[in-house]
Every structure is written in C-alpha cells, then in structure tokens.
Structure 1
Amino acid sequence: MGRIGEWVKKAQDLARGHSKQADQLLDRAERIAKEKTGHKYDEQIGKGADAVQRRYGGGQGAGGEQRRPDQSAQDQAPRPGPTPRPGPTPRPGQEPRGPQS
C-alpha cells in the first residue's frame, strides 16, 4: 500500500473511532464548499459528503437513519435561478418593441 493509501486508512480509522467529531468536521467542510462555490454545486457537494459519511459509518442518528445536523431548511430549499438582464432601453422618440408574434 502506498503512502497515500496508508493515510486514507488511518483517516478512516480515526473517523470511525470519532464519528461525531468527523460528522461535525464534514458538515462544516460541506457548508464552506457550498459557500465558496456560490451554491452552484450544492447537489454534487452533498452527494460527496454523504459518500464520505457512508464510508466511515458516520451520519447515523438514533435508529440508524441518516442524520445531517447542520443542514438547515435553507440548504434544502430550491434556489432561484439567475435574474434575467433587462432589454435595451428605447431611445427618445423610439417606440418600445414588444415580443414578436
């Protein structure tokens, strides 16, 4: 096993032994990543965080259901799309154009 493989195994063992702290760290990293990317990749970041938690057995609440303590309703709500840009401003004396039919 290479050096990186050894580090990954050691990190997994530590996370399994301290899953609550690992969950908190992962939730914080997920939140920061979402903020830094302007929430453009929230779904992919969330899936990645879930995969990491499954790998070390974290994110389990009472009864074995997945638990995401720092995920607020804001993270789960759909985000509005970009605001459309306004059309050109008509020149004085020029009729504004409507949609073409």
Structure 2
Amino acid sequence: MNVNGKWVFHQGGVDVTFDLVQDQDGGLTGSGSWSGDSGTLETGGGGVFENDIFFTVNWRSGAHGRYQGSRGPDRRLSGVTFDIAHPENQALWFTTQAIPD
C-alpha cells in the first residue's frame, strides 16, 4: 500500500490535511494541518504495513495525536485518532479518496 501524497482525513467535523512521504520500507514522514494547528509526523513514529497505517503527529499546540487505521475493501483509509496525553479524547477518521492501485 502506497500512501505518498496529500490526504484529507475527515474527523469529528474537521478536515485534517496530511502530506505524507512513505519510504521503501513503509516508514512515514510528513506534515499535517487543519484550521486550528499544524505539525509534523514524529520521526520513526509511523509506518505502513500491508493494509495498516499508523503515525504520531507533534502538533504545534503541544498535543501529540496518534493515528491508526487501515485500508478497507473500498480502498479508502479509516481509523481512530487520539491525544496520547489524553487517550480518552478520541475521534474516528476516514478518507474519501482511495489508495491508487
């Protein structure tokens, strides 16, 4: 599964845009932003394995958002995100764009 490029994650009424770079081993780097904040993916803190994706974003506000999800049969990504310091604060997310073949 290749997730290189720009993605919009729809979560809790907010659209979060990610620009993801995936290396040959599945590791992820990149950045994210939404109307209230921006941040970068934690180095070594994310990756793609088969149909699963996970990464942590260090937001400028100080929050650390963990994203976990997978590719569904429709080739779209979906999952859950939470604040590492407050894991009870969770939101579901999904993409409307599909993973290219």
* Shorter-normalised TM range: under 0.3
Structure possessing the higher relative contact order (Cα contacts under 8 Å, 6 or more residues apart): 1
Which structure: greater strand fraction? 2
Pair member with larger Rg: 1
Return the TM-score normalized by structure 2: 0.21
